[in-house]
Amino acid sequence: MSIFSRIGKLFKQMVAWFREGSGSHQTAAAPKIDPPVELVEPPKPRPPDNRRMRRAKAAYERARRKHDKFVKPEGTEPIPIPITMRPDSPAPRKEVRTVAEPDQFDDPNDKLIVDEWLQGSGDKVLFEGSEFYGEFNFRDTILDQLDRYWVYLDRMRKHDRDAYEFYKILGATLMPYSATHTWTTKPTEFKDKRTPEELEQYRREIELPPWFKTKWPAFGCVAFGINPVEEKIEITKNSKGWYQSTPKFMYFRKLKRSPWTVQPVVTGKVYSLTIWWDRPNDPKRPWKWGRPQEFPIHISNDGKLRVLKTRQRSSGKIGPWWDWRIPHDYDNWATQHGLDAQSHLTHMFCDCVKHVEFADFSMLRVEITKDDMHAIFGISPRRMAYFFQDRDIVLTAKGRKRRVFHFVRPHIRKDGAAVHAHFRGLKEFHWASYDVRITVPGRDHMLLSEFDVPVEFDPIKKKGQKYLTEGQTAKWLAQQMKDGQL
């Protein structure tokens, strides 16, 4: 075989190999490639399970309600309405309703306020945040406070007749123990010394709220030590052998001009704050009537406060004389707390003003009447049915018990009619031997804190002018509020 034939044969073999190799390459199985990843929306986080929180809240609320005191309601019991059924009808099955859980989120501020009812009581109970601002959520202390309120208010007539005539008609504001700082049954140990940081923090709290500097209210009154717990403390000595006294009332008045016995000022506003002291009927230390302590407060145009000097009588070897100063009793009182008289008295005035402001936060105003004396306190509409569950029974035309005053949310009826938000129920009823009247401030009448007519001391009666006493002013205000004119 010649060389050319060998080359041709080799060429044919190479062509065959090439074709076989390219064919195998074309027919070879493609490598496996993973399909593209499908973008699936991640599952929504499951809302936190608040069933444990609700159970704990219910348990602590039951522990709190063990301190409630109820009375037996008067009136005719409602007529029971029998359920009539056909003989052939099946027994009714209990309907199980499934309520969809609303969208919830983990609120870090959603915490339970749990503590001892009183220090040393040993039981953990529930507190609502609005209690610390003067709104009643539980009725465990209200009847005890009312029992003592009438006693101390009636004893006010001897040494402050004008205030008695005024507040027996308009009423002083009652507050829960949480708002009046009634934490324990033991006397408080006063701090005769304070650190510079504590003094600075105390002075920072001497500030009036914005509403006060806008409205300049004419009056305000809150009740503090009107309860048997404070009375027990007042007859017990502390570690220093002192008897502690708690103010029963704190009330302020706006003055048109300063009396001649008060340091004169040209600009700003002048108020007077009265601390009403009284004690329980302790046979060892009897005190039949209360004592008022009144001091003037000047508020400058920029909102700064200071205690004004008053004309005081002093005595010595050369005989009595008169001078202008803050009474020594106030200096001694402030020294017991490690303070000066200016800081201590102006702080008390701001504290009284803030309690009056907090009392207006409640949606409903409850007015309690006994004979010709009145008391007021605030409450939320959602607590009305619980709070007055032992009220005297009033029946409807169908023989059912009438519901107490409550708030109706907007909703759609079965027939498709839209119902707007409104109030319904009894606004006036009898409860625990008291007459009760419910109003909505701002809707039924004005807020009393918006009344800004000042008090005139020793007015010079001019021709054609007429002045009302504080009692007459209170009667006029009460009538105007009842008629809805204010």
Count of C-beta atoms within a 10 Å radius of residue 304: 13
Cα torsion angle, 326, 331, 334, 340, sign: positive
Report DSSP letters for 435-453, one per residue. EEEEE-BTTTB--GGG--P
Would you say 259 and 206 are in contact if contact means Cβ atoms under 8 Å apart? no
Would you say 281 and 311 are in contact if contact means Cβ atoms under 8 Å apart? no
φ/ψ region of 464 (left if φ > 0, alpha if ψ in -120 to 50, else beta) reads left
Distance CA 126, CA 107 (A): 19
How far from 100 is each of 45, 103, 299, CA to CA, in Å? 17, 9, 55
Helix, strand or coil, per DSSP, at residue 484: coil
Give the position of tokens 């008045």.
253
Would you say 467 and 459 are in contact if contact means Cβ atoms under 8 Å apart? yes
How far from 478 is each of 371, 373, 485, CA to CA, in Å? 15, 12, 10
Assigned token pair, 319 = 């005989």
Would you say 308 and 298 are in contact if contact means Cβ atoms under 8 Å apart? yes
pLDDT score, position 189: 74
Q: Are strands 373-379 and 406-408 parallel, antiparallel or unpaired?
A: unpaired
Q: Are strands 219-223 and 113-116 parallel, antiparallel or unpaired?
A: unpaired
Assigned token pair, 198 = 């504590």
Assigned token pair, 478 = 């009460």
Contacts for 337 with CB less than 8 Å, ≥ 6 apart: 190, 191, 192, 194, 344
Would you say 248 and 223 are in contact if contact means Cβ atoms under 8 Å apart? yes
Assigned token pair, 63 = 């522990």
Domain positions in the chain are: 139-382+440-486
Host H or E run for residue 69: none
Distance CA 156, CA 152 (A): 6
Give the position of tokens 């040393």.
120
Would you say 139 and 366 are in contact if contact means Cβ atoms under 8 Å apart? no
Distance CA 74, CA 77 (A): 9
User: Taking the model in full, what pTM does it have?
Assistant: 0.81
Distance CA 164, CA 390 (A): 30
Which residues partner with 321 through β-bridges?
314
Digitized pLDDT (tens) for each residue of the chain, 486 residues in all? 555 465 566 666 665 665 555 444 444 444 444 555 555 566 666 555 567 788 888 999 999 999 999 999 998 888 777 666 556 666 665 555 444 444 444 555 668 899 999 988 889 999 999 999 999 999 999 999 999 999 999 999 989 999 999 999 999 999 999 999 898 888 877 777 888 899 999 999 999 999 999 999 999 999 999 999 999 888 888 777 778 888 999 999 999 988 889 999 989 999 999 999 998 876 666 667 788 999 999 999 988 999 999 998 877 666 677 889 999 889 988 988 889 999 999 999 999 999 999 988 999 999 999 999 999 999 999 999 999 999 999 998 888 899 999 999 998 988 889 999 999 999 999 999 999 999 999 999 999 999 999 998 766 666 667 788 999 999 999 999 998 877
pLDDT score, position 100: 41
Would you say 156 and 150 are in contact if contact means Cβ atoms under 8 Å apart? no
